[in-house]
Amino acid sequence: MERLLKFTAEHDMFRNAFGRFLDNEIVPYYEKWEEDMIVPREIYKKFGDYGYLCMDVEEEYGGVGADYLYSVIEVEEIGKRGLQSVYIRNHNNISVPYITEYGTDEQKRRWLPGCLSGETITAVAMTEPGAGSDLAAIRTTAVREGDYYIVNGSKTFISNGINSDLIMLAVKTDPKAEPAYRGITLLMVERGMEGFERGKQIKKIGMHAQDTAELFFDNCKVPVANRLGEEGKGFKMLMKKLTQERLSSSLDALAKAKYALELTKQYVNERYVFGKPVGKFQNTQHVLAKCATEIQLAETLLDQLVLEHMAGKLAEANTEVCMAKYWVCEMSFRVCDQCLQLFGGYGYCTEYPIARQFVDSRVNKLFAGSSEIMLNVIAKNMGL
């Protein structure tokens, strides 16, 4: 069946070149990075040298103004090889879009060149030890003193938390605002700013090389010139960008499921039990046929949402994005689990890539808004 997304010959050429780049520059080192629990920062430079970062950035700021299909291809090719801890998606599709959408001309000229070259690695810091799903409850404060904000508080679970140089930080500039979300403001914090410290890497069950860390702010001085948008308008800005993040997370979850299915199709043909390949049992065929069906459904829904995004209509499709985020991420983990089962005991061994798909796909049900929060939003938008 033809895909809803119309990839051109240029897109196909890009896919091939990007795939070769991954095979040469990432695949040989990936295991080591997973053991080290970090992707070396220089890799961002390499992606930047080839023009693979923030491809949608407009030409006047040094980018090529590429369409979103290039981002889709990057997520798919990374997923096809099971390299999801190389989390350039966070930089390209989650963090930098805050600058491109909300930054002033001066801020864009200041930050985007480094984001494109890979010298500046970005992150988004919303979650706190006491506030994850309930973002309006964040307690990190920023008090204005002349040309600076004085920031106090902490963030946790921040992807790229160790490697990042530029962090979009959600703070409360008016802790007493009613309702609470009205007091949120977005500030860009830079590596080396006085009063900004990072905690240790958080040890996770999967996505090991994707550095995740706590961030601490102790009277950290952030220039007012680093504020994104207006004071107190941050929550609305976050919600808009979270829709985009949820689409990206769903694309990643789909790519993880597809890779799990490919690994399993191959394995069940090679593994003999009771004198025949595991793939010849009707149960195996049914399980994999169901997985393939769900993957096809997910791809069709996500392709449509990618088209909405490219038409600038993603915000209007917020309910459908939440449906996709909920269903595709649940599906991805279900598929990885069922595929692992078909590997028997080998599926439980870290030597087999299916084990990594199982743990790595688990996080998609949690970050960018948990499945439960997605269902809450869908129900609310249904008028319930």
Ligand X SMILES: Cc1cc2nc3c(=O)[nH]c(=O)nc-3n(C[C@H](O)[C@H](O)[C@H](O)COP(=O)(O)OP(=O)(O)OC[C@H]3O[C@@H](n4cnc5c(N)ncnc54)[C@H](O)[C@@H]3O)c2cc1C
Minimum gap (Å) between residue 129 Cβ and ligand X: 8
26, 73, 125, 257: residue in contact with ligand X (rule CB under 6 A): 125
- Nearer to ligand X (CB atom), residue 236 or residue 265: 236
Closest to 189 (Cα-Cα) out of 105, 140, 123: 123
Q: Is residue 234 a contact point for ligand X (CB under 6 A)?
A: no
**12 burial class (0-12, 13-18, 19+ CB within 10 angstroms)?**
exposed
- Nearer to ligand X (CB atom), residue 76 or residue 245: 245
Minimum gap (Å) between residue 127 Cβ and ligand X: 3
Choose the catalytic residue: 76, 128, 245, 299.
245
The type of residue at 366 is: L
Q: Is residue 250 a contact point for ligand X (CB under 6 A)?
A: no
Q: Is residue 154 a contact point for ligand X (CB under 6 A)?
A: no
Listed in sequence order, the DSSP H helices in 22-170 are 27-36, 42-49, 69-80, 88-89, 96-102, 105-117
Does the active-site annotation cover 214? no
Buried b (16+ CB within 10 A) or exposed e, 60-82: ebbbeebebbbbbbbbbbbbbbb
Distances (CA, A) of 181 to 7, 97, 235, 321: 40, 21, 6, 22
Minimum gap (Å) between residue 287 Cβ and ligand X: 27
Taking the CB of residue 289, how many other CB atoms lie within 10 A of it?
Answer: 10
Minimum gap (Å) between residue 190 Cβ and ligand X: 17
Q: Is residue 373 a contact point for ligand X (CB under 6 A)?
A: yes
11, 204, 233, 240: residue in contact with ligand X (rule CB under 6 A): 204
Q: Is residue 363 a contact point for ligand X (CB under 6 A)?
A: yes
- Nearer to ligand X (CB atom), residue 100 or residue 370: 370
Minimum gap (Å) between residue 274 Cβ and ligand X: 40
Question: Is 144 strand, coil or helix?
Answer: strand
Q: Is residue 158 a contact point for ligand X (CB under 6 A)?
A: yes
Q: Is residue 100 a contact point for ligand X (CB under 6 A)?
A: no
Sign of dihedral through CA atoms 228, 232, 233, 237? Answer: positive
Write out the residues near ligand X by the rule CB under 6 A. Answer: 123-127, 132-133, 157-159, 204, 207, 212, 363, 366-367, 369-370, 372-373, 376
Q: Could you list the active site residues?
A: 245
